Chains A and B, each alone.
Chain A
């Protein structure tokens, strides 16, 4: 089936550092979403992207929809301890209705 390759799988950073993670696919997506999951909770939407080239920010988070429609990245600036969690990208293929495909997740650890 369709897969999203998300990298890196995990990151250990110092508080205050910037973080970057990305997702790539061999297929073209018409929507890219970024979620964060805290331990014991469901994924929570961070940013949604609907157009190729779109760059969207949400506070310290910035995400972009790749020009080729096959990739997306998420940047977190000036990380803080509460940024800890697992970040997932998700994409929606054309003609797939409401179905999303999720990346494997990036586990972020922030050292105070």
Chain B
């Protein structure tokens, strides 16, 4: 089976531009998670979905960030407008139905906002 798929793998943009990150979870996984990783703050959970419904978005930094999951096989994380401090690696992860299941991570999107 394919793992979690993320695109793009790298993104360089200018401050003020809109950025959209995409994720395809592992088939059959009902939980989807968006993380941000930086040297200063480590791995931070931004938001997670269960059966396409956002469950906890308390980690979303501010209104410039939004996430959607229109169906079980696709999710987006959007930053509008982007700022240099948004530069980080963004990971998507998925897990099966039970909350006790482990999470499997995608390869990440490396975002650089100039």
- Chain A contact residues, CB within 8 Å of chain B: 30-31, 33, 35, 40-45, 48, 50, 88, 92, 96-105
The contact size tier of chain B is 20 to 34
Q: Return the CB mask of B59-85 against A: 1 if under 8 Å, else 0.
A: 000000000000000000000000000
State which of A40, A50, A98, A104 has its C-beta within 8 Å of the C-beta of B103: A98
Contacts known (A42-B91, A92-B99); A100 close to B104, Cβ less than 8 A: no
Q: In the complex, how many angstroms separate the beta carbon of A61 from the nearest chain B beta carbon?
A: 15
Contacts known (A42-B105, A45-B102); A102 close to B43, Cβ less than 8 A: yes
Q: Check if B99 sits within 8 Å of A97, measured CB to CB.
A: yes
Q: Check if B102 sits within 8 Å of A33, measured CB to CB.
A: yes
Q: In the complex, how many angstroms separate the beta carbon of A33 from the nearest chain B beta carbon?
A: 6
State which of B42, B43, B45, B107 has its C-beta within 8 Å of the C-beta of A99: B45
B34 on interface, CB distance cutoff 8 Å: no
Inside 8 A of B33's CB, which chain A residues have their CB? 98, 100
State which of A31, A43, A45 has its C-beta within 8 Å of the C-beta of B100: A31
Q: Return the CB mask of B100-114 against A: 1 if under 8 Å, else 0.
A: 111111111000000
Inside 8 A of A96's CB, which chain B residues have their CB? 99
Measured in the bound complex, the distance between the Cα atoms of B107 and A104 in whole Å is 19
Measured in the bound complex, the distance between the Cα atoms of B96 and A98 in whole Å is 10
